[in-house]
A = this chain, B = another copy of it.
Amino acid sequence: MVRRLYELAGTDPARRFSPYCWRARMALAHKGLEADCAVWRFTEGEAIAFSGQDKVPVLVDGDSAVADSWAIARYLEERYPDRPALFPAGVAAARFVTAWADGVLNAALVRLIVSDIPPLLDEPAQAYFIRSREARFGQPLAEVTAGREARLPEFRQKLGPMRAVVSEQPFLGGDAPDYRDHAVFGGFQWARVVSPLDLLAADDPVFLWRERMLDLYGGLARATPALGD
């Protein structure tokens, strides 16, 4: 049976950097499922047109094709119920954390790292990325991230909800990770792959949690080429 995850990459096919693709990759590893992790680039819409939309991650699992990281996680939990649970505390707990990661964490991260991304892309993808992101932010990407070191304290302050939990236990899921951890980790791994910016102080419980996440599944995420620590 074919199992393939289409993942966003830069010019270097090893540089997988989408926060949402990382959620899917970690969810597959959590379930102990092997997958062919296929390279996809911003300008290759036709390669995933079969999935009915134009963004990755897309998972092909035998006869099923599932797009969107949340839908992929829900699919994996339903399709493989006998493997380690992604939602042991209920779907709603993970939905809250995932929405927080989307709207707070990733929204803050993009304003710290977006200008680091174009140099990692090949020319057509670079042109698309710059045009679409400058339209979104209404300013050049270098201006979006200007003064970012000075904004790190504000960024770190926003991590309060997750810090409150991982100060008291190893993972958001408890002694072991669950989808809440993967949803949040996607953003940190995105930043780590594309940017040299030191997001976290080494004595931050969130830093120590990230180290534990990087160690999971034989160091899966740590093995990816990265610019950050």
B-facing mask of A95-138, CB < 8 A → 1, else 0? 11111101110000000000000000000000000000000000
The segment from A21-29, A86-94, A210-218 that touches chain B is A86-94
Q: Contacts A99-B160, A160-B99 given: A165-B92 contact, CB under 8 Å?
A: yes
Q: Are A96 and B174 in contact (CB under 8 A)?
A: no
A164 at the interface (CB under 8 A from B): yes
Q: Are A97 and B96 in contact (CB under 8 A)?
A: yes
Q: Are B104 and A174 in contact (CB under 8 A)?
A: no
Of the candidates B92, B165, B180, the one whose C-beta lies within 8 Å of that of A99 is B165
- Hey, which chain B residues are within 8 Å of A180, CB to CB? 96
A63 at the interface (CB under 8 A from B): no
Q: Are A161 and B89 in contact (CB under 8 A)?
A: no
Which of the listed residues A89, A169, A180 has the most CB atoms from chain B within 10 Å of its own CB?
A89
A172 at the interface (CB under 8 A from B): yes
Rounded to whole angstroms, the CA-CA distance of A161 and B160 in the bound complex is 14
Least CB separation from A160: chain B residue: B103
Of the candidates B100, B157, B169, B172, the one whose C-beta lies within 8 Å of that of A161 is B100
A57 at the interface (CB under 8 A from B): no
- Hey, which chain B residues are within 8 Å of A93, CB to CB? 89-90, 93, 96
- From 161 to 198 in chain A, residues with beta carbon under 8 angstroms from any chain B beta carbon are 161-165, 168-169, 172-174, 180
Of the candidates B95, B163, B173, the one whose C-beta lies within 8 Å of that of A92 is B173
Rounded to whole angstroms, the CA-CA distance of A168 and B92 in the bound complex is 9
Of the candidates B89, B95, B96, B99, the one whose C-beta lies within 8 Å of that of A90 is B89
A-B CB contact pairs (8 Å), 13 listed: A90-B174, A92-B174, A93-B96, A95-B168, A96-B165, A99-B160, A99-B163, A99-B165, A100-B160, A102-B160, A103-B158, A104-B104, A104-B161
